[in-house]
Structure 1
Amino acid sequence: MARSRPTYDSIKDEESETLLDAKVPIRRKKRRGVLIILLSTVIAATVFILAKSWAKVSTDSAGPKKNVILMISDGFGPASETYARSYYQYVNKLPYNYTTPLDEILVGTSRTRSSNSLVTDSAAGATAFACAMKSYNSAIAVDPSKAACGTVLEAAKSIGYTTGLVVTSRITHATPACFSAHVVHRDLEDIIARQQIGDYVLGRQVDILLGGGRCFFLPQNVAGSCRQDDVDVLEMADNNGFSYLQSRKEFDKLKPKQKLPLLGLFTLDHMSYEIDRDSKLEPSLAEMTAKTLQMLTHATKNNDKGFFLMVEGSRIDMAAHSNDPASHVHDILAYHETIKVVKDYVKSHPGTIMISVSDHETGGLSLARQNSEEYPQYRWLPEVIKRVKKSAYILSTELLAYEGRDKERFIREKILYGGLGIENPTEEEIKWLMENNDQLAIEFYLGTMVSKRAEIGWATHGHSGLDVNLYAYGAGTESLRGNVENTNIGDFISQYLGLNLEKITNQLSK
């Protein structure tokens, strides 16, 4: 805390002092001069001692240690926040002015373009956050010339911060990869997995990795593997000191004092959509985040440095790619629950800040859609969404796996009514589902059936170039207000934690 200089009440008027001195003998004036000199010396020495003392206090009480929690809601645009809020209001019978956990901390917007396109992908988007640098679509923490760029996670680790990544995608997917690996294309997940457990020039950088994607850690001769080689990355992780878990039971046994590093891979591929998630088998994003915060807090208890944690609501984006409105909203609400967990942590841990931002918008979502050339009714019908019980992905998988004799009945009763809550399919819809065998096409079609009935519109199955909302919580986030570039978020994290990204970039080039 800054302290003001001492004040003195005994400073005399200069003119009065002169008049007084004129009346005293010269000897007394000399004696007075000596006393003044001695007094000045004492005062100067005292001020010097106090200044040193204050400087020490200022250093010792520089404030609580700093933590940064970067929340990334993949593929989540402003319309999706409106959609989730409206749906939650309807389901819970809340007043029209209900605000979500994100609404309360909106500070601005983030521009999303990459170095080579107005419309970014998740790799270039996350590279902007991680390296504070624009790069090309599909780049994983490399610059436009394909040279590795130091990330905020690596720079934080280099000066003593503890680090973590928590996602609902494969842990090797684009967003988490950009903080923990360097490859020229996002599809090189075989290499990403190895780098994430420390098989590259910097060595191990991540202390906690939680998510899906076990298939990229298994050698190709093991069932469920999706590697193209015989490398056993789980064995490599064990050799690098990682504790490993893959089940809900093992997750539930985790304690705050868990030995780090820790690798948790709960599914072979991506973790389930929230609408499909079996809580007995997979932890939620909020649960994984809460456990990770406990472990990071314990791990940094006796350190002067805190932690950097990146949390991604990964499957918000994937549902939007499929134009699956029910899966989309349930994953957004799961993200909201995670935001609540993190906000509570920030409140009770001064020095911690949370930033929540999307890499891009996906799907071009709109509320509502106009289905005719007549004057629009401007409706949307959330009750249609409420009736949906499974994702379009799971239902398309079940439909293709059906080998019974009465496929039409199965479609009507199990897929449409049981899965989507649709009681009145058209004959054209039944005919299309009977005749088509492409899973992705079926997934899109089922999502469209629900969207039309709910009066929800989609402009694309891909990303858009729209700005996205930017949210922040915690002291010191004022500079993020307004409309900023996605790279500014990486710059802000670097400044807040005192990071040197250039130094890490130089180390990576050796």
Structure 2
Amino acid sequence: MQRTHDRLKQAPSADPLLDGERGRLPYAARRSPQSSKVRVALICLLCYSFFVSLINLGRGLKDDGDAVVTFANGKKNIIMMVTDGTGPASINMARYFRQYRDNLDIDDVLTLDRYFIGSSRTRSESSLITDSAAGATAFSCALKSYNGAIGVDGNKQPCGTILEALKLKGYKTGLVVTTGITDATPASFNAHADYRFMQSLIANQQLGLDTTLGPVTDLMIGGGSCFYLPKSHPQGCRDDETNLLEKAKEMNFTVATNKHEFDQLQLGNNASLPLLALVAYYNIPYELDRDETEYPSLEEEVRTALKLLTDATRDSDEGFFLLIEGSRIDHAGHSNDPAAQVREVLAYDKAFKAVIDYIDSADTETFMVSTSDHETGGLAVGRQVGPGYPEYLWKPEVLLNATKSGEYLRKKFQSFRELNAEKDKLEQFIKTEILENDLGIADYTDKEVSRLLEHQEQIHDLLVEMVSVRAEVGWSTHGHTAVDVNIYAHSNTERGRALLREHLAGNVENTDIGKFWEQVTDSDLKHVTHLLRGTKHVPTAADEQESVHAYEKEHGFIDHRAEAPEQPL
């Protein structure tokens, strides 16, 4: 793999990294020595100091194409944050919405905005438009792979991840998400599968089964209990009878499967590692729909993880690695649901602020990078809704009036319909309960209501479209786009901030983020890749093979086999 190591050069002489290392000599040393012995001694001392400074800056060069200087001295914490499916327009929409909702000044921006340093290109090996699996693998393995790849390279071979590399170095490791823990982004850091739908295998590997490395993750918080339960269990969705929750308990994990058990952790003050907290069947509900008595917020998950990882590494020579994902921003983009998405972005921003506060108070040098794997939905904050000249505005008040997501309202409608199938009752329910009460839409037309009744199976899409049109928000797709995504970063040291600016400012490839983690921690992902030989990663069942073909067709996979039709990029 060709790496763009020419970006990774030592900081210029004015860089804080070199302050005190190449500065002027102390006054006494600048005085004319009275003897040659003194001069020789001083020169030797300076040479030794310079040599030590170089060692501290970079503990060696890696022979992998161009020479790469690593900056790995000292204990450190690594926090990788991902806003799944979030493009610049989503940040823009959330900022304006918050200003409108809270009656804020136009200069009152998101916490994210204050830490913006650049943008990332997102294409995968197989398509100009990536999926979450290939996008996350770029972060975890520092390489491009095909859409659907979970911690495997373009040849479908397991690739060493930064989480695994740091675990082998003695770090504590964790994942915090709001989807199932076996979903593409978290899985790409601690599992290896040819395709993202292989979630039973992914769950196995997350506990150290079916992998040559054994357990590598000390903390996992999110949803997705169904892939940890046997298929015979009422809430199980595995393809076998393995009960991984029981297996985790045998491995001395603290296991939490609901909000009550999560609350007993007391934000990490009443728990210890290892921890497996799967607090939802699969996805934690959107922030717009979340019942705080039933599900934790992303911020609560993050605070719990930071407390536990900090306590576990307090007396260690190594720090921790933590992945945090605002997972369901992507789902709202797929659904074209602006009211749900704007709340998801704001929930992430609160969690992001908790991370910033932690970093600024931490004793250990800590690096944080926040970015997206891709943009979803092709969001445009502005939309032409009629044949006339378009209005130059959009209406955040429409999103504020919507108090439930399309996902929630679809389920609500289906539940009502099971008991009340009569058309007049359904019509009244749609008008009063859904449009007026839940979405704050009073100006609906008879045509819109008729469409909802005639196309009941599409009620989700029709409802969120009614919101989008009234807010004058546009969407170009229910899938992903090739839009560049923002990068935000922070460290609690001048050295850390200088390194982040040096290597990730401007416009970079998504793999550059993975390479940065490898170099700043002096890790060797190739060595981990070698250790992974023998790890199970290939689908075998006939139904999985059918899923492979369907997935490749739906996700822009380019088949490079000779018999495949030519499909230029």
TM-score over 0.5 (shorter chain): yes
In structure 2, list runs of 5 or more residues that go unmatched: 1-19, 58-71, 492-496, 535-569
What does residue range 82-481 of structure 1 map to in structure 2 within 5 Å?
Answer: 82-199=92-209, 200-254=211-265, 255-256=268-269, 258-349=271-362, 350-402=364-416, 403-404=419-420, 405=422, 406-438=425-457, 441-474=458-491, 475=497, 476-478=499-501, 479-481=503-505
Q: Secondary structure at the match of 1:268?
A: coil
Counterpart CA distance in 2 for 1:48 and 1:120 is 54
- In structure 2, the CA distance between the partners of 1:8 and 1:368, relative to structure 1 (3 Å rule), is closer
Structure 2 partner of 1:29: none
Cα pair distance change 1:9/1:178, threshold 3 Å: same
Cα–Cα, structure 1 residues 385 and 45, in superposed 2: closer, same or farther, change >3 Å? closer
Aligned match of 2:524: 500
Name the larger-Rg structure: 1
**What is the CA–CA distance in structure 1 between the aligned matches of 2:49 and 2:177, rounded to whole Å?**
47
Take 1:167 and 1:330, find their aligned partners in 2: how far apart are those partners? 16
The CA distance in 2 between the partners of 1:50 and 1:106, in whole Å, is 39
Structure 1 contact 257–295 (Cα < 8 Å) conserved: no
CA displacement, residues 142-165 of structure 1 (integer Å, 9 cap, x when unaligned): 011100000010011111111000
- Give the CA deviation at 1:251: 1.9
After superposition, give the CA deviation of every residue in 1:133-191 in whole Å (9 maximum; x if it has no partner).
10000100101110000001001111111100000000000000000100000000011
Which AA in structure 1 matches 2:181? I
List gaps (5 residues or longer) in structure 1: 13-35
SS of the residue 1:312 aligns to: strand
Give the SS at the match of 1:168: strand
What residue in structure 1 maps to residue 494 of structure 2? none
- Tell me how far 1:63 sits from its aligned partner: 6.9
Q: Distance in 2 between matches of 1:295 and 1:55?
A: 38
C-alpha distance in structure 1 between counterparts of 2:319 and 2:477, whole Å: 41
1:458 shift after superposition: 0.7
Cα distance change on mapping 1:105 and 1:60 into 2, 3 Å:
closer
Deviation at 1:304, TM superposition (A): 1.1
Kindly provide the CA deviation profile for residues 281-331 of structure 1, in whole angstroms up to 9, marking residues without a partner as x.
Answer: 111001110111011110000111111100000000001111111100000
**Distance in 2, Cα, partners of 1:375 & 1:449:** 20
Q: Select which of 515, 535, 538 maps to 1:491.
A: 515
Counterpart amino acid of 2:323?
Answer: M
Per-residue CA shift, 1:212-267, capped at 9, x if unaligned? 00000011111111112111111221222211011223222223473211100001
Q: Deviations over 1:435-470 (max 9, x none)?
A: 2242xx321111101000111111111100111111
Identity of aligned residues (%): 45
1:69 equivalent among 70, 79, 88: 79
Alignment root-mean-square deviation, CA: 2.4
Tell me how far apart the structure 2 counterparts of residues 244 and 11 of structure 1 sit (CA, whole Å): 69
Contact 2:142 2:515 in 1 (8 A): yes
Whether the aligned pair in 1 keeps the contact of 2:176 and 2:302 (CA below 8 Å) is: yes
Compared CA separation, residues 308 and 195, structure 1 to 2 (3 A): same
Assess, with a 3 A threshold, how the Cα gap between structure 1 residues 457 and 47 changes in structure 2: closer, same or farther: closer
Specify whether residues 64 and 252 from structure 1 end up closer, same or farther in structure 2 by C-alpha distance, changes over 3 A only: farther
* Partners of 2:254 and 2:274 within 8 A in 1: yes
Normalised by the length of structure 2, the TM-score is 0.81
TM-score in terms of structure 1 length: 0.90
Counterparts of 2:439 and 2:287 in 1: how far apart (Å)?
A: 15
Residue 17 of structure 1 is matched in structure 2 by: none
C-alpha distance in 2 between matches for 1:58 and 1:148: 34
Give the aligned length. Answer: 482
Aligned residues of 1:257 and 1:298 also touching (Cα < 8 A): no
